[in-house]
Amino acid sequence: MDGGRAKGKDQGVVDGVAAMAHCYQEFNPKAYLQYNYTPPRADFSRADSIVPWKLGCLHRAFTEGDVGGETLVDVGSGPTLYQVLSGCELFGRVVLTDFLDVNRRELRRWLREEEGSFDWTPYLKHVCKLEGRSPSAWQEKATRLRSVVTEILPIDVHQPLPLPLGALPTPGADCLVSSFCLESVSPDLASFTRALGHMSGLLKPGGHLLLIGALGESYYMAGPGVRIPVVPLDEAQVCTSLRENGYALIHLSTYTLPPDMRVGVDDVSGIFFVKAKKM
């Protein structure tokens, strides 16, 4: 009887995760970039635009003097690079990862300077400014990023070992960054917490996690007609999941979307930024 119940629960978990994987088959990198990484959400003339807020948080977290080492891993990179523009100055090896080949190909296109890749120039210029450099140094930053990204690997945060065996040195990466991944690939809160645990296996004890995610979001559009369900989170749930996975919270910042950032591609109400240390 009990065994049957346990089996039923395990099957439910497998089905929920498989349903999420199915939703992602239609993910459209170009549309996703257009929806989230162009104005008004990426308006560098406005401090209250989403992307400048995220870049400011990342810049601060990476320059407080406590984060460093050899290897930085970005979990669930998608087709985006903004999340490693500050970190690429501190680490000699940056590993990008995504579940989908279309996203890994999109990243590769930029790294190889191929035609049709997304234009990250305004992002590079903005982060140069945050670093006190001239915006004209953006090409140096682009060169730096291209030189330190050593791999773009497949990943599945629902597997106890999310990356191919031997991909990282033991005891793990020095730092993890992950943005809008866990809550948008998990069927429920329990699965989110479990995925955070799997991901944490990639980080060495004492290493840092920089986690960015959506608050109060139940879906987002990943292309025309491609609606992806999201676990609606609040700050307390994020903190509990971190604690359950052995993290000490260093700081948590939140951002509330101004009305004109609600552009009809999701129902997100806010964003959290966490800096935490694996104990």
Ligand X SMILES: C[S@@+](CC[C@H](N)C(=O)[O-])C[C@H]1O[C@@H](n2cnc3c(N)ncnc32)[C@H](O)[C@@H]1O
Smallest gap from Cβ 203 to ligand X, in A, equals: 15
Query: Please, which residue, 27 or 110, has the CB nearer to ligand X?
Result: 27
Query: Is there a contact between 46 and 258 (Cβ–Cβ < 8 Å)?
Result: no
- Annotated binding residues, written as ranges, equal 32, 37, 76-77, 82, 98, 103, 156-157
Q: DSSP letter string over 200-251?
A: HTTEEEEEEEEEEEEES--EEESSTT-EEE-----HHHHHHHHHHTTEEEEE
Which positions touch ligand X (CB under 6 A)? 24, 27, 76-78, 80, 83, 98-100, 103, 155-158, 179-181, 184-185
Q: DSSP letter string over 252-270?
A: EEEEE--GGG--SSB---E
Query: Please, which residue, 77 or 245, has the CB nearer to ligand X?
Result: 77
Query: Please, which residue, 33 or 250, has the CB nearer to ligand X?
Result: 33
Residue in the block written with tokens 């990204």: 149
Smallest gap from Cβ 246 to ligand X, in A, equals: 20
Smallest gap from Cβ 97 to ligand X, in A, equals: 7
Query: Please, which residue, 153 or 250, has the CB nearer to ligand X?
Result: 153
Smallest gap from Cβ 200 to ligand X, in A, equals: 14
Query: Please, which residue, 117 or 137, has the CB nearer to ligand X?
Result: 117
- Annotated binding residues for S-adenosyl-L-methionine, written as ranges, equal 32, 37, 76-77, 82, 98, 103, 156-157
Q: How far is CA 175 from the centre of its chain?
A: 13
Determine the Cα–Cα distance for residues 254 and 270; give it in Å rounded to an integer.
7
Closest residue to bound ligand X by CB: 78
Determine the Cα–Cα distance for residues 80 and 40; give it in Å rounded to an integer.
17
Smallest gap from Cβ 4 to ligand X, in A, equals: 28
Query: Is there a contact between 97 and 152 (Cβ–Cβ < 8 Å)?
Result: yes
